[in-house]
A and B are shown apart, each in its own frame.
Chain A
């Protein structure tokens, strides 16, 4: 519930759009109910008047019928436009809000949520929140408002009928959907779990078909998949056996409400408390009123999903950033020598130390290399220097200024980083380069690409600098992507260079190209390079070995 309130607070700036959409939904439902009820009243009144010879004023109801028909269709169109407009406005607001909260957490806090899983989950959850208004809020609030009006109107004729209508509406719109959900919860969860197993199975097959064939496990895997598919259908069948009767019962509730309304109204007509035309009007009105609750089963179902999504999104957002920015940030340093004194850090307050008593001094323009096994703490050191993670003990100074006194952005602003996982955005090469220096001229871009030894290759692409790269764009080889990242580093022109296994995963020839580019880049810059490659270590002055969080100068 608190999650829902938090979401609603986010929606506040768009309240007018949201309310307009809901208002229009109410108008549409009422116009629809009114249309059938008025039509029933009208023809009964016309028939009775025809039979009795009494003249009636028929222009108003006839015009009313036409007006309601137009109101209903036009209103429906307007409602759909307004609710979608509201949804899209919310979507924009949600994304910006989410991004702004995520930004201070990256990358430190996000490392808990591993890789693709985090992204696909965020994607699904944000999509689910996008639908909150359209699928949940608008129909629920509109139904609540409409039910009030409908019951109040009926009460003007008979309180009993109004109460029966209300009971039917609550039964069909609230009680039945909730009961159905409760009954189907178990098989629903099962279906979700089986689907996940099936997905894992098919993914395994796609990735490991070769091994399945070589190790003669393909028939077994086929059987597993077929069995999972059958089990999925079994659990879905249970859901269908609940949903089908529930739909039947919802219809029955509406019909019974109308039947009971008739039984109550008929004696009233006989007594003269109600007029003849009132009878068909009441019958059709009660039956029509159930249109208000028709979207509620789907809304209730979506509500559960949406709240779960909101909870996950909030749990990410509510994480404290690891680093508190200084209240009074110092001026950016003017020298770029790096001094680390007795530095220790760990990721959790009671976890093992990832770095212990590190001492390291690099003069401006100095270059050091760090080698060490996976998990020895090399990447932790870089995370600390880049102010992605906090450190608990010791100090780091840059040109004599403590990193704790500098804004994280300032520190990162003087560092160019080339990491193993180079992220190229899903856009043109040009836009990827502009990231490092917005407004760079064409000549500057060419220069950077030339120095990174990739200019000729970029020219050979048919779209040149406008080639789209990244997931949906052109596939670059590992070496090409790495060199574009180097070009970015050239453009950034930062005094400090941080290289995290810059040639890992490249073949010998690509490695040679990348190293040649790096050699130029390192000229005059303070450099820290993590690598296993002896060839790369030739480029540095001193080599350190990292072992279980401790740093030692290499003898060699």
Chain B
């Protein structure tokens, strides 16, 4: 009902972006305009034929058989117009379809380029909405708004060419009133837009209120407030109605003005023609012809009102898409040199990281992870542990210092080659929509037996075989639901299958019950054998066997050592350990 607030300049630049895509669809777009123009000419022809038939019957007193040829021509015009209408729609669709496809590819490629560190911070639902519903909302802009804008100029001009010779007074009325319509639309539209902007926030919050109440219904019930809430919803909706109507009363004025000018002008033309006929200043044939053309003259201008809506919707959608495209991917150096695979000694050299310079996330992180070593990161949530793992994976780049792999700066390594050496288990693994076997395999090529073996090592084979279709069961958002522990084990199976040199685990046992957590811990032990591992731990229990533990707090390494030595230091690790009591002494 209302559009988000934005300045005119913003709207202009967004529309310029939308228009940028027309270059790729010049042919279908031009074709729709041409068919639209042919439709306009046929309309004039139809009016002329109709005027001649009626003139023939009532003025010239012709019989039906005498006007048959004209009626046949009229029928042909009808059919031609029907075909043109269908063609215009179909070609318009093609123009829009090509643009939608191009923009979707572009936006998806950009999303991939922005990387996981970025996409995980966004709401995945919003991104999907932008890429699907947002792009679909552009449809009418290309299929109908752009051609209609061109026709809104062409058709009235073409009609004027016929009106002036027929009855110049009507032509003058049209020429004078036509520009008033867009003019008043702009004046009223501006006022409405201002009002719209002021009310927008309030309206959005009010409509959100209802769904907030539904989502929190259990909580309301626990506080005995749920029944009184109905009255609140009624009050808020009433408020919403009153505010919205205040906006609409003004917003509808623009179409009132538009309709008013168009209709009054048609009435004026009719009355003028009537009197001209009465005083025999004009013949019936041209008079009636002009009367038939008058509404058609104003129709494209009136349609601009509804097209305007398509434009606003497209601009609103474009805003989201442009925001996505305008986000800079993490700076990567041009064309990394394909260096020989360096040995797997990882050095973090005084690494700093910050999204904004004023808010450092990591400061002076410095450590070495030797081949075959097991290094654990512990610390309070928000300390920066996950950021370290993302830097190591190359999803983020240090804002200071460097990460070296066997002496080579990580930035100089081709990302794909580096990631090929790593298996990663994120904090909340993703289950992709598809079969279990595809979910374990992902991009790797492996036969069913290898997948099964990996699943067995991850302790997942048993529950997978018990699923309705075993390894072919469709899982993911719209498939069979799996528990948190089961998803973790599928993610572990991926890591087993990949058989990589370096394993990165991010809190693999967070929020699992103890039995499942123990199962995962045992699998992780198996996975770590003979491999280099970086593990971010939630439960201190799972890091006791690590070769070295780094304690991270506020983005810095504050302690390091093995379990026993850290306990002996009586620092944060010892405190956390005592607090948890998870670790049997």
Contacts and interface: CB of A to CB of B under 8 A. Distances in A.
A92 B426 contact: no
Interface string B361-383: 00000000000000000011110
Contacts of B125: 116, 203
Nearest to A239: B93
B311 to A, nearest CB: 19
Interface in A483-540: 488, 492, 504-512, 532, 534-535
Given A89-B241, A218-B443, A283-B50, A201 B433 contact: yes
A99 B245 contact: no
Given A36-B295, A39-B267, A92-B238, A230 B219 contact: no
B105 interface: yes
Interface stretch (B63-71, B329-337, B400-408): B63-71
B463 interface: no
A215 B240 contact: no
Contact of A107 (B218, B237, B512, B576): B218
A251 interface: yes
Contacts of A423: 215-216, 218-219
Interface string A178-217: 0000000000000000011111111111111111111111
B259 A99 contact: no
Contact of A35 (B208, B267, B379, B580): B267
Nearest to B261: A73
Contacts of B208: 426, 472
Given A417-B222, A509-B380, A512-B579, A230 B420 contact: no
B214 interface: yes
Given A43-B291, A92-B238, A217-B443, A207 B120 contact: yes
Contacts of B67: 266
A267 interface: yes
A233 interface: yes
A409 B485 CA distance: 36
A31 B350 CA distance: 80
Given A237-B93, A279-B57, A217 B442 contact: yes
Nearest to B93: A240
Interface stretch (A61-69, A148-156, A352-360): A61-69
Contacts of B57: 266, 269-270, 276, 279
B108 A222 contact: yes
Contact of A507 (B63, B119, B381): B381
A229 B109 CA distance: 13
Interface stretch (A2-10, A74-82, A441-449, A459-467): A74-82
Given A208-B432, A488-B223, 6 more contacts: A66-B267, A66-B271, A76-B256, A88-B241, A248-B86, A436-B223
5 contacts: A244-B89, A256-B78, A259-B78, A425-B212, A506-B381
Interface of B: 46, 50, 53-54, 57-59, 61, 63-64, 67, 71, 74-75, 78-79, 81-90, 93-94, 97, 100-101, 104-105, 108-109, 111-112, 115-116, 119-120, 122, 124-125, 127-128, 131-132, 205, 208-227, 229-230, 233-234, 237-238, 240-241, 244-245, 248-249, 252-253, 255-256, 259-260, 263-264, 266-267, 270-271, 273-275, 277-280, 283-284, 287-288, 291, 295, 379-382, 393, 395, 415-416, 419-420, 422-424, 426, 429-430, 432-433, 442-444, 476-478, 481, 483, 485, 491, 494, 498, 510-516, 538, 575-576, 579-582
The 7 closest A-B pairs by CB, nearest first: A208-B430, A217-B443, A92-B237, A216-B443, A244-B89, A210-B116, A276-B58
